[in-house]
């Protein structure tokens, strides 16, 4: 069963703009991870944030986690056409990982 | 990072046949592996948790007799789609957290695209 809901479902922006995606989940977690998937391909791990962390950075990526609201956000700054992909959050809870519904990001050159 | 491979990457079969998909952890041991299914433009749906040396745990709504899982060793799990039908056509992805790393990053295979004619 799906645990997470992501919004927006689809996002279209111009190159150079920032893209923000949100993920909400339902149960307690140990960590939350963000992945990218190019069309028809496997998943690429982007960043992991633990339940006791509130913010994490990796290059142009910034992830926040609010466990009280059971939500996380992924910010991609200065987006590039190559960032066009689907982005998923995944939560680790009771010995399994559940994925959110995903956000399809399109960055226009 | 750790590497997970899947074989085959793509398979086309006739309706009624069985298809076996292998998931291997290449440079680490995995007592647990996960199998997901992904339909076009949708998210990954967890099908089952594969446990080395014991029975797999299936998610609600997943037929265990249709999707046979065998985790024969610490580096190999197989998913067999029995009597495949066109509605089983999907992208199947496995993943594995390194042993002792259940709360950390999991590593994904590249996926297997199954097309049932």
Q: Measured between beta carbons, which residues in chain A are less than 8 angstroms from residue B95?
A: 97
Q: Is the torsion defined by CA of B55, B60, B61, B62 positive or negative?
A: negative
Of A48, A98, A100, the CB nearest to B105: A48
Of B46, B103, B109, the CB nearest to A98: B46
Kindly list the distances between the CA atom of residue B76 and the CA atoms of A73, A92, A99, B37, in Å, as whole numbers in the listed order: 35, 22, 23, 18
Q: How confident is the model at residue B63 (pLDDT cuts 50, 70, 90)?
A: very high
Give residue-wise pLDDT tens across range A48-96.
999 999 999 999 999 999 999 999 999 999 999 999 999 999 887 666 7
Q: Measured between beta carbons, which residues in chain A are less than 8 angstroms from residue B5?
A: none
Q: State the average pLDDT for chain B.
A: 90
What strand order describes the sheet that includes B76-81? B4-7, B19-25, B76-81, B67-73
Question: What is the per-residue burial (b if ≥16 Cβ within 10 Å, else e) of A23-58?
Answer: bbbeeebebbbbbbbeeeebbeebbbbeeeeeebee
Predicted local confidence at residue A1, as pLDDT: 46
pLDDT at B101 over 60: no
Q: Measured between beta carbons, which residues in chain B are less than 8 angstroms from residue A41?
A: 110-111
Instruction: Give the residue on B whose Cα is nearest the Cα of A42.
Output: B110
Predicted local confidence at residue A94, as pLDDT: 63
Give residue-wise pLDDT tens across range A14-43.
999 999 999 998 888 888 999 999 987 888
Interface test with A, best of B59, B106, B107, B113 (most A CBs within 10 A): B106
Predicted local confidence at residue B54, as pLDDT: 87
Chain A: residues touching B (Cβ < 8 Å): 1-2, 30-31, 33, 35, 40-43, 45, 48, 88, 90, 92, 95-102, 104
Predicted local confidence at residue B49, as pLDDT: 92
């Amino acid at each position: 069963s799906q645990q997470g809901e992501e919004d927006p479902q689809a996002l279209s922006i111009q190159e150079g703009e920032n893209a923000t995606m949100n993920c909400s989940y339902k149960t307690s977690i140990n960590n939350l991870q963000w992945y990218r998937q190019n069309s028809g391909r496997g998943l690429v791990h982007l960043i992991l944030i633990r339940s006791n962390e509130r913010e994490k950075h990796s290059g142009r990526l910034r992830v926040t986690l609010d466990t009280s609201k059971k939500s996380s956000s992924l910010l991609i700054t200065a987006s590039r056409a190559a960032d066009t992909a689907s982005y998923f959050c995944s939560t680790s809870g009771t010995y399994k990982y559940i994925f959110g519904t995903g956000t399809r990001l399109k960055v226009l050159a | 990072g750790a590497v997970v491979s899947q074989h085959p990457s793509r398979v086309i079969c006739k309706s009624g046949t069985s298809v076996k998909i292998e998931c291997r952890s290449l440079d680490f041991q995995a007592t647990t592996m996960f199998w997901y299914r992904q339909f076009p433009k949708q998210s990954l749906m967890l099908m089952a948790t594969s446990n080395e040396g014991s029975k797999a745990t299936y998610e609600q709504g997943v037929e265990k007799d249709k999707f046979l899982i065998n985790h024969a060793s610490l580096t190999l799990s197989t998913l067999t789609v029995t009597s495949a039908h066109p509605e089983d056509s999907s992208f199947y992805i496995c993943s594995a957290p390194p042993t002792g790393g259940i709360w950390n990053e999991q590593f994904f295979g590249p996926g297997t695209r199954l097309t049932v004619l």
